[in-house]
Amino acid sequence: MKTLKVSKKIKKADYLMGEFLSEKDFDKLIDFDCDVYTINGVLLAKFRRNVLDEKKLLQCVENVRDSIVKMDNRGIASGKVQLDKTMNRAGSHVKENFKLQPITKDGRKSKYKVGNCVLNGLIGYMDRTVMMPYCRKTAYTKNEFEKFEKAIPFIKEVDELYKCLIPEKWNIQNEYAKATNKNYVINGTTFTTVTVNKDFQTAVHKDAGDLKKGFGNLSCYKTKGSKGGYFVLPEYKIAFDLCSTDLLLVDVHRWHGNTPIINETEEDERISFVMYYREKTIKCLAPKEELERVKRANNKL
């Protein structure tokens, strides 16, 4: 097992927010088992090759593939907004760096802000949002629950490796999961939600909404003709070459992004999985209570 200690090469990387990276943005590509720490001994990442079961991975891919749709709500991760990359939003709008805020026909700003379209899926459970103010199953989980259940063995395997490799972080997350209504935790894991990305080069961002006291993870299914898509920590000028059956445990609350994904044929693809505990899920009530809560709020309007 190799251990690396790395120093910051970019002291203030905020200027990279929303920018797309290339292979010029790292000096070292890690494609071997490795633990990476800062000079001060703070864990940045643990990378393991070929530790995930291929059959479980393929079963997961097969059963969540249909969750992947065009989405325009990924914010900074989808890069600076360009009108031609949104869902053909015509008419008036207010443009920000990373979102468009459409103007409704009566001249009001829409509550729903949009960004560049990406191929993205969401499985598991969601906490309350502005648009949907109640805790719930994601649409795919609700409509395709049998397929969702067939993906769980792979999700469990990632969780077990998380527990094995970074037990102190896993224990914290497990305490949150145990204190959360069981209707919103993926059975047998410390995760509430899985984001599924297809051929999505993320711009530089920091993850938000997940448990800050936990630790991030990334796994993927990648065909032989799919190249690039390296996961980069630009402040430290390091990158990871994540392939099928590999696992990357990484501090996703630091600036990170991907290099371009290049598929040699139309059949090639890269599907990645990010599994996490949504921090506000701890506040979720039982499903019936959540709906009653919404009804009471609507009655006050």
CA 249 to CA 139: how far, in whole Å? 27
CA 154 to CA 220: how far, in whole Å? 11
Which of 54-68, 94-108, 222-236, 279-293 has the least mean pLDDT? 94-108
For the beta carbon of residue 261, count every other beta carbon within 10 angstroms. 20
**Whole-number pLDDT of residue 86:** 77
**Whole-number pLDDT of residue 92:** 52
pLDDT tens, residue by residue, 215-256: 999 999 999 999 999 999 999 999 999 999 999 999 999 999
88 touches 114 (CB < 8 A): no
Question: Angle 145-165/54-64 helices, nearest 10 degrees?
Answer: 140
Q: What is the rounded average pLDDT of the residues 46-69?
A: 98
pTM above 0.95, yes or no: no
CA 128 to CA 118: how far, in whole Å? 23
**Whole-number pLDDT of residue 90:** 53
Residues 6 or more apart whose Cβ sits within 8 Å of residue 55: none
Residue 97 or 217, more confident? 217
